Structure 1
Amino acid sequence: MSCIAEYSKDRISAREVNSLNYVGVDNLLQNKLGKAVASYVPKTGYLTKYQQGDVLIGNIRPYLRKIWLSDLVGGTNGDVLVIRPKDVANVVLNRFLYHILSDERFFIYDNNNSKGAKMPRGNKVAIMSYKFALPNIEEQERIVSILDRFDALCNDLSSGLPAEIEARQKQYEYYRDKLLSFKEAE
């Protein structure tokens, strides 16, 4: 992975972050559910800067599977890794990298290579050594499109769940009508 992505080395002043754009390991949600509004925001010093399209991964207890694809600019602390595709002539899409790193295989790899027992931390060198297939940009776009649609159907309460409920309701009504339709007795 190190040939296509790197850790952010950019810095941002704590004065430029707030509860919406500060990401600590505490407000990254478990099981790949993104992030919540921060309850704690540092007031002084400098933080690791992330930008839109960066992948943020909680580096403490990798088995919690904390990951978020940034849609804004902000800052984070050393317990959150900021991974950014390198600027190498469109070799990898941000969303493709996010899907690769949110895959269960990556979290198993990260957990197996973590250091420490009580509060294991991901191994930053091992993470950058993670290997995966990298198709061309067109194929990445196709894969991302499919995975994004599937994710929306599974997780978006405004489209996926209501659509599924409506489909099951129609199915129920169809079979109910079939079961309750009788031929008239002669």
Structure 2
Amino acid sequence: MYRDSTLLGQTVLNINLGEIGKLLVPVPPRSLQDQIAQVMQEAYGDRQKKLQQAEQSYQKVIDYVFEQLGINLERTQRKRNALVPISVLQGGRFDFEAVVTVQDISSQFAEHETTLLEEVVEQTNERITPSIDSPDEVVNYIGLANIQSHTGELANFEPVQGKEILSSSPKFAKGDILFGRMRPYLNKVWIAEFDGICSGEALVFRPNKSKVDTQFLHTLLLSQLTLDQVVPLQSGSSLPRVSASDVLSVKLPVPKDLQKQQEIGNEVKKRRSEAKRLRNEAEAVVTAAKARVERMILGEEIVE
């Protein structure tokens, strides 16, 4: 079984190429090959359509939240301007992207209630080293590869043995929000569905439930508004990262009315469930097609 060494901190297992060359592969008649190709082509076409529908559904969830807040994101897009007050530069970073972004974001919601992320969440950084602390236990380890970009859904997750994780890993609890700090433009933000540990490239935020609704906040963090503030602050060329302090300084339109947030959050949860259903259906189409192909090759399904 292959393991990504960048995620689990272990050596990648290899397969002997000579042994692969000795594998027996069934080669059906050309007519059957053509039919198999047609089945898979149609399946992947259907999958792509459903995935597009799902992506649109996730985006509509974000649009819904801002509509409920009375905010038109199209009218609040960043406008680049090289002329900024000297007060903005003093004591800050002399970085064109960062300065202009922070200035524009801070002014575009002047008529709305805004708050810093650090005012509604607590960053937690309790860590363990599973290979030392619990080598024989099964642990829920989340790497950035397990979080889908732009949707915030869990992907390709399986628990692993503690001895497989050599690095110090932050702990998280169910309901925490994991925010990918490496390559932040990939937009990986996940609400923890269980307790576990994660890659050090994820920041762990614990929402203050007396101030903010988790589903509501999660949607804001997945939005272009957050990307516009965070991405310009990344540093590094090959694997850019953003600091925890920069993420915590993000300004978000969070109403003081917690009940309003919760009402929006409940609707968000229902709409995300529908989008997730579409994604699951997309994958099920391909799975069913592969099963059919196997039956065709084994002669269990008669093909005309």
Q: What is the TM-score when the length of structure 1 is the normalising length?
A: 0.72
Q: Which runs of 4+ in 1 moved over 3 A?
A: 16-19, 38-46, 158-161
Aligned to 2:266: 145
Residues 1:31 and 2:150 aligned together: yes
Q: How many Å separate the matches in 2 of 1:158 and 1:62?
A: 23
Aligned to 1:10: 126
- Using a 3 Å threshold, how does the CA distance of structure 1 residues 37 and 133 change in structure 2: closer, same or farther? same
Deviation per residue, 1:94-147 (Å, 9 max, x gap): 222212211222123221211122211123211101111222210011111222
Aligned match of 1:109 in 229, 254, 278?
A: 229
1:45 Cα deviation after fit: 5.8
Q: What is the TM-score when the length of structure 2 is the normalising length?
A: 0.46
Equivalent position amino acid for 1:32 in 2 = T
CA contact (8 A) 2:141 2:159 kept: no
Larger relative CO (CA 8 A, sep 6+): 1 or 2?
2
Structure showing greater Rg: 2
Structure with greater helix percent: 2
Q: How many Å separate the matches in 1 of 2:270 and 2:208?
A: 26
Aligned to 1:56: 178
Of 43-52 and 111-120, the range deviating more from structure 2: 43-52
Aligned match of 1:22 in 125, 132, 141?
A: 141
Q: Is there any run of 5+ residues in structure 2 with no aligned partner, and where? A: 1-116, 283-304
DSSP-derived class of the 2:171 partner = strand
Percent of pairs with identical residues: 23
Q: Number of matched residues?
A: 158
1:61 Cα deviation after fit: 0.7
CA contact (8 A) 2:171 2:196 kept: yes
Q: Give me the CA root mean square deviation.
A: 2.8
Q: How many Å separate the matches in 2 of 1:77 and 1:44?
A: 11
Q: How many Å separate the matches in 1 of 2:274 and 2:144?
A: 27
CA contact (8 A) 2:128 2:168 kept: yes
Q: How many Å separate the matches in 1 of 2:279 and 2:200?
A: 35
